[in-house]
Chain A
C-alpha cells in the first residue's frame, strides 16, 4: 500500500495542473459561492413617470434611476422592456398610481412585490397602487431558467466538447498527420469547429422547443435577433474551446480547464443569482463572462420581446469578445499546425525544389508553412 501511496504522490506532483485544481478549485468555489450565492435583493432599480414623478418619494429598497414627469405607461413599459438602467420596476403616478414590475427579473420582482405589499398596507384604503407584473405574470422560475439554460447548453458544447475534440487529435497523434497534410490551417480550424457549431445549434433548438412545449416559456421576440445573439455567443465559446485545447496536453487537462471556464459562467452570469445580488468585488467578473450577455439577450428577446436596438450593447460585447477569442484561437491553431517548434523557423529552411518551384505547385511549393 505504501508503494501505491508514494507512486500516487509522485504522479500527482508531476501533474501540476491537477494539483493546482485540487487546491485552487475549493478556494474558487468558496469565494464564488460566498460572494455570489445570494438571492437577497438590496436595491430595486426603479423608474418613475407621470405628473408627480419628481415629487414621489420612494424609500429603500426602491432606488430611482430615472424620472420622467412628461411620460406615461408606454414609456415605463419601454424602460422595463429594454432593461434601461437595469430598471426592474416602473411607477406611473396619477390619480391612482400604476406599478409595473418586470417579471423577467424574478428575484427582484418578488422582493419588489413584498416591499410594495408592506408599503400598500400603510396607505389609506383605495389608494394602493395598481400592480401589474409584466413578462412573467406568474413569476415562474422556468421562464427565466430556460432562456438561460439555452446559454449553458451552448457554453457546454462550445467550450467542453470542442476542447475535447481538438485535444483528442493531439493525444492520438493525428494532429501531426494533419500538420503535414496539404490543408490550410483555416480549413482544419473551420473543419474542427463547424460540426460542433451545428450540434450546438440543434441542441439549442431542442432546449428551446422543450422549454416552450413542456414549460410554456413564451418566445415573444424576434428569432433573428435571438439567432444573432446565439451565433455570437457560440463564436466566443467555440473559440474558448479551441484555446483551451491548445494549452491542454490531454483530455483530462482540457476538462479541468473547461470546468474552470464554465463553472463561473453558470454561477456569476445572472443565470441563478441576480447580478445585483452579487457582491461588487466579484460582480466585475460577471461583466467579462459571455454568458452574462447571452442571458441578457435570450431573456430580453424571449420574455420581453426586446428589439435589437435595446440589445446592441450585449451584442457588441459578444462580437468583440468573439473576435478576440477567435483570433487568439486561430493563432494558437496555426501554431500547432506549423512544423513543431524547435525555434527552427529562424534557422532552418526547407529548400524550394527547383522542379517543383518551376511547376508552380500551389501556394507553398517548398512545403513550408
Chain B
C-alpha cells in the first residue's frame, strides 16, 4: 500500500506533463498557435532577463531627473545612423585607471591623467559635455613628523583635431560643507558647468588659429582701430558661443566664416549735424565778443563739415574714417566748450554744448566697444575628427603614490542613444520597456487567474446548488454588468492617488486596480460556467457518483471542475491583456502609479505633448499590442481545441 500511494501523485504529475505536452503540440499545429507560442517565449525571455536584473532603486528612482542625468534628452535610437541619418555619438565613460602619471619633481607636482577619444563624425556638435570627478585626498608626511593633506586640482584639456589644445576647466576640488579632512576621503566635482568654463582663452585661441580678423578694407589702416575692431569681434564670437553653443560646445566648433558690416545708417550722424547747426544759429544771434564768436563759429563749422563729409561718403568710409571724423568733431566741440565759458555765453546754451559733447563721447564709446558701428557676424561649424579629452588630477607632492583610486566620468551627450532612444528627462526607452515586461505580465496573469477562478467557482456553485444561491449570484452578476466599469475604476483610481504613501505606494495602487478588475471581471464567465454546470449536472455519471455517496465538494472538484477547466483556461488566456490594457489606459489618463510600465511611458508622452517623437510613442504601444496579441492568438488556439467539447454541450 505505501508503494502505490507514493506512486499516485507521481503518476499524476507525469499525466499532467503529458497532457501539457499534448496541448502544446495541438496549439503548435496551426499558424496562430505557432505565432502565439513564439511571441510568448520572447515575452517570457524578456521578463526573465528583466526580473533577474531589476534593482529596487530602479523601481523607486526611475522617474527622478538625476537617475538619467547623463543621457541626452529626447534623442532617437543610434541605429538610425545606419539608415542614413547623421547624429553625433553619445559617450558616457567612467574611468578608474589613469592612463599615465607624469611627475614634475622640480615643481613638486604630480598629474594623474585619464583620457578618452571622442570621435565627431557629423557636422553638428553634440548637445552637451561635462566631466564628473571623484578623487581622493592624499597625505604626505613632512620631515617634522606632521601630515599634510593634498587636495587635487582638476585640469581638463581637449586636444582637438585642428591642433588646438583647449583647457576649458581648471578647478581645485574642495571639501563638501560637512566633510572632514581625512586621508583617502573622496572629493568630488559633481558636474563641470559653463560657469566655470574658460571661454575667454578659448575664444582667443580660436581667433589666433583661424586668423579671425576684421578685413583692412573695412577697418582701414589705423593700428589702434584695428585692435578695437578685433576686440569687438571677440565679443561677438563669445556671445555667439555662449548663446547658441551653450559655452561648453565651444570645444567642438570652429569659426567657419565671418562677415563684417559697417553701419551705413546715418540718422544718428544727421542728428549730431542738426544739433551743431542749431548751436551755430543760436550763438550767431548772441551779442558777444566778436573774436570769440568767430572762433566758435569756425570750430562749429569744422565739426559740421566733418560730419557732413562722413554722411556724404558713408558708403565708402572705413572704420578708421568713421572714428577719425567723430574724434575730430568732438575735438572741435570741446574747443567750443572751453571758449564758451570765456565768451560769457548764457548758461542754457553752454549746457547744450556740454550735452552735445557728452552724447558724442558716448557714441564714440559705443563705436569702439560695441557692435553699434562695426557689426561683425561669425558663423561657427562643428569640427569633425577625433577629440582627445584628457582629465588630469594634479597634486602638489614630492613623493606621490604610484596610482590613485579615483573615478573620472566623461559625458558627451550626442544626438542618439541606445537601442530605442530616450524620452524626457533622458529616460532610456529600452530600459523601461524591458523592466515593464515582467510587471505587465504579472499584472495580467494574476488578475486573469483570480477573476477566472472566482468566475468558475461562482458559476459551478450557482449551477450546481440552484435555488437562492443561484438567484443571488446571478442577480449580483446582473447588477455588476449594468455598472459602467471604467468610470468607477477612474473614480477609485483618483481616490487612491492621495491615499497611499511610502515606497509601496505604487504596488498598492496597482493592486487596487487589479482588485476592481477582478470584481468586475468574473461575472460573464460565471454565467457561461453556470450553463455548462447545469447540463453536466444532468449527466448519468454525476447521478452515479451521488448514489455512491460522494459529497458535493467531491462532485464539484472531481467531476465538474475538470470539465470546465479547459474552457476556463481559454478564457483566462483571453483575459490576460485586460489588466495590462487597463493599467496602461489609466496611466495615459494621468492616474499614475509610479512604476516603470509601458503605459507610464505613453502617459509621459501625452503629458509632455510629444506625439511627434516616434521612438517614444511607438515602442511601448507595440509592446502592449504584441503582448495582447500573444494571448489573443493563444486563446484562439486553445479555444479551437476546446471547441468540439463546447459544441457537444
| A and B co-occur in one complex | no
Q: Which residues does A use to contact B, with CB under 8 Å?
A: none
